[in-house]
Amino acid sequence: MAKLQCRDYGFDCDFVVEGEVESVITQFGNHTNDEHGIEYSKEALMQIILRKS
């Protein structure tokens, strides 16, 4: 299980996603790209998740 939330990365945004790692990476990546105009690679998001563990 993994959890990412925009507020942890400096965004004034209430978006939170929690679940299986692959799903979290996809949903968080889509959200940051669509809503904040920032495109994270899957590898970068995986590193963020691993650092939080």
Number of H helices and E strands in the chain, helices first, is 2, 2
- Report the alpha-carbon distance of residue 1 to residue 13 in Å, rounded: 22
The pTM of this model reads 0.90
- Domain borders along the chain are 2-52
pLDDT of residue 50: 93
pLDDT of residue 12: 95
- Report the alpha-carbon distance of residue 14 to residue 23 in Å, rounded: 18
Q: What is the mean pLDDT of each run of 10 residues along the chain (53 residues)?
A: 93 97 97 96 94 84
